[in-house]
Structure 1
């Protein structure tokens, strides 16, 4: 484990494996460098790139200076890029894709960007996230109802069926999910304005001109596929790629060749 310090002094824990041009992997909600899809993905990608996985603030071994703002997450990524040599490729999954987009909007040090299934809701193919979603989430957490916060995220944010959410406390991973529940508002702040059922808010990132790959699973629900199509259209230099047979829980072996191909097309200046 290594430590880099963000602009506000927060310690950000990271691991680096492999060699080559730096590639930073950004986790989605409730995941960390030791718990989630990016750890196994890094192992597969290390033969092509110097792969960095890190604990987003508030998770794992990273610090959690309050209050959280989107800019803090961008500054964390900026510190990692500087530590890696001053420029990098970035891959973000789920809410990590939203953070990566924000970073690419502000950081010219990001040379190329790959995104997988940012959880946006741009039409009526699923219910939008409730207006009071963030306030309800913060209410659960302020009253130490971590389990309720996770359930709200899974039911109203992810859109899982009620019976699935009801069974989650019986899962072995439930304790780990609750341990990072306090970071769910951070993911919500990143995404909630783009989960209201309209695509117009995606113009926020129209200034992101670096090459972008927008990935979506062929077996993912219509609302997700529609959202990623809209996102790709809203970015000046983006292309959409559907990974057949995949869902939001993307298999590392499925996306590794896609990322390799995309990032190796880049011209390093």
Structure 2
């Protein structure tokens, strides 16, 4: 079976979650990180690299792209969203392999880990790329970001919220000022409230060892060889905390990983 669709499912709270399917084979769900969705981010490119061998589901996390949103937010609501997405994916694959894999990048990796622990044997395997969990000396900085982001969003200052995020991921102030003058800025501020959703998935920014230890499926945690040690840390510690975890480095890659390189590094792991 080969299929491409763009439609929506309704999560447990009624939120419409837009998704599309590409390809043929065992199922894989791709989970975006902060500020990304189907129309703006890495997952369509990654889907194109994988859909010769897999049925790939990409979706807009709640509050972004073509998905709706329902207040108040809670981290479990995004688990409900993924639960709802399992049915159309399984209906489409027709492979006899009922359990799909999850693949999350950056803060989407944190959501993938929570979902894998929640969904249990309904998940075949998990791949995470550079989950941004922090070593202990950096936890206070993460807490400061959470407080500042919450204050900005509570005040309705979406420009400030996006600027805080960009600064948090290392963009210099001059570059942020330039971004504010670009056509892309309005699209970023439109989904600024979802920055709090990603921050919530990361918790206090420490590696969620208890959550990872509950995952029954194999976990492959990846980092880029060109990324700073702090970004490699999260992947390494996730692998160490998993029951069946492995860690690997993709040479010459950074946080903005090349889709072809990532696909080549995970293809065999994703097979049933």
User: TM-score by structure 1 length?
Assistant: 0.90
1:249 aligns with 2:256: yes
Secondary structure of the 1:149 match is helix
Show CA shifts across 1:47-104 (max 9, x none).
1111110000001111101111111001100111122125311100011100010000
Task: Give the root-mean-square deviation of aligned CA atoms.
Answer: 1.7
| Distance in 2 between residues matched to 1:80 and 1:70, nearest whole Å | 16
Alignment of 1:166-177 (within 5 A): 166-177=177-188
Match of 2:196 among 181, 185, 207: 185
| Distance in 1 between residues matched to 2:211 and 2:59, nearest whole Å | 26
User: TM-score by structure 2 length?
Assistant: 0.89
Hey, what does 1:114 align to over in structure 2? 127
Residue 207 of structure 1 deviates from its aligned partner by 1.2
> Judging changes above 3 Å, is the alpha-carbon distance between structure 1 residues 222 and 171 closer, same or farther for their aligned structure 2 residues?
farther
Hey, what does 1:138 align to over in structure 2? 150
Secondary structure of the 1:214 match is strand
Hey, what does 1:165 align to over in structure 2? 176
Secondary structure of the 1:181 match is coil
Alignment of 1:56-135 (within 5 A): 56-85=61-90, 87-108=99-120, 109-124=122-137, 128-135=140-147
Hey, what does 2:29 align to over in structure 1? 24
| Distance in 2 between residues matched to 1:91 and 1:22, nearest whole Å | 11
Show CA shifts across 1:32-60 (max 9, x none).
11110001111111111111100000011
Alignment of 1:202-217 (within 5 A): 202-217=209-224
| Distance in 1 between residues matched to 2:232 and 2:146, nearest whole Å | 24
Alignment of 1:31-42 (within 5 A): 31-42=36-47
Structure 1 unaligned runs (5+)? Answer: none
> Judging changes above 3 Å, is the alpha-carbon distance between structure 1 residues 211 and 127 closer, same or farther for their aligned structure 2 residues?
closer
Residue 262 of structure 1 deviates from its aligned partner by 1.0
Show CA shifts across 1:182-215 (max 9, x none).
11100011114125xxx5x433321112111101
Structure 2 unaligned runs (5+)? Answer: 1-5, 91-97
| Distance in 2 between residues matched to 1:226 and 1:107, nearest whole Å | 26
Count of aligned pairs: 259
